[in-house]
Amino acid sequence: MLTLTLSALLAVPGDPLVQPADEPDIVVEARKREEIEAQARSLVRALVATPVGGQLPRWHAPICPRVIGVRPEIAARVAGRIRAVAEEAGAPIAHKRCDPNFLVTFTDDASGLLARLSKRSPRAISAPNVRDRAKLVTGEAPVRWWFGAEVENADGRPLVGETAAGSTGMMMGVGGARDLPGNGDAMTADAWSSRLTGTYVRASLAEVSAIVDVTRATGKPLDAVSDYIAMVGLGAIRYLPGDAAAPSILRLFDADGGIVALTEWDRAYLKAVYRIRPNATAFSQRGQLVAEMTRELAP
């Protein structure tokens, strides 16, 4: 019976009963690819943060996670999960002793901790605007996060200082905790590019902070919370993400029970983040994200 079934699938040249059978498959695959592209576009629109200096930030320096507020074995498990997700995505990882730049804090009073931190060092918590900062400090989300980013030359070298007016360099403004000085202390790029569609600079994540309110996250698997943190920290996801057509670990805390592991969409998004051109404009990068995700997920 198996032999007959396989034989029936072999096309015979000139056989009019066999050749048309290919057409429905082509139509189905094309439709599925269009659906995937639409969902990818929806996810990118929901997750992408405010551009920094004209680009979407990502890690260029090796990631060095540190987890505090829990027992050492739990901390090691969370940090290990972040490293594993980073490796799969293609993000750089520090494998030796390093200075932490990806800090995860577990606490039973996230609002109190953030209020004290905000009062003691107002610039320690970065947010695109006052409304987002208020949501971050006084909100009730089980996981809250922010990141510091900086603009550097496209090849990774730091921008140079420029005290003279009328610099021929390309000045870029940065939002968040690492603002570039203006006026007489402007920072400029001294790189060049032969690409007409690129820029002279790139936006790099310098630090990520995530705070987990254990009282609000109770009942969720530790690995699921770790995946959530890895997703927002590696992808520089905006706070708070919007709704998207595609499933994501960022629905972990939804009222209906949520999603408890990284989805194929999450993995495709993170891979795309570390494949796109770092010195392209944010508009171009969004299009590249959609194209890379579609290529990853389409049959």
Q: Which of 250, 251, 248, 296 is nearest to 272 (CA)?
A: 296
Q: Is the pLDDT of residue 169 over 50?
A: no
Q: What pLDDT does 290 receive?
A: 97
Give yes or no for a contact between 281 and 55, defined as CB atoms under 8 angstroms apart. Answer: yes
In the structure, what pLDDT confidence band is assigned to residue 15 with cuts at 50, 70 and 90?
Answer: very low
Mean predicted lDDT score pLDDT of the chain = 81
User: Cα–Cα distance between 127 and 131 in angstroms, integer?
Assistant: 9
Output 24 or 147, whichever has higher pLDDT. Answer: 147
With cut-offs at 50, 70 and 90, classify the pLDDT of residue 91: very high
User: For residue 29, what pLDDT is reported?
Assistant: 64
Query: Tokens 């396989």, residue?
Result: 6
Q: 15-48 burial by CB neighbour count: b if 16+ within 10 A, else e?
A: eeeeeeeeeeeeeeeeeeeeebbebbbbbbebbb
Residue 135: pLDDT band (50, 70, 90) is confident
> 225 is written with which tokens?
């919370």
Mean pLDDT of 254-269: 92
188 pLDDT higher than 60 = no
Find the mean pLDDT for residues 111-129.
84
**Mean pLDDT of the 125-150 span:** 85
Band of pLDDT at residue 26, cut at 50, 70 and 90: low
Work out the pLDDT band at 171, boundaries 50, 70, 90: very low
Segment 272-282 mean pLDDT:
95
Q: Is the per-residue pLDDT at 10 higher than 70?
A: no
Q: Is 145 exposed, middle or buried (0-12, 13-18, 19+ CB in 10 A)?
A: buried
pLDDT score of 256: 81
Residue 189 has a pLDDT of 45
Query: 213-250 pLDDT, tens per residue?
Result: 999 999 999 999 999 999 999 999 999 898 988 999 99
Model confidence at 53, in pLDDT bands (50, 70, 90)? confident
Kindly report which listed range (16-30, 147-161, 175-189) carries the lowest average pLDDT score.
175-189
Range ranked top by mean pLDDT from 18-32, 112-126, 149-163: 112-126
Low-confidence winner among 49-63, 152-166, 171-185 (lowest mean pLDDT): 171-185
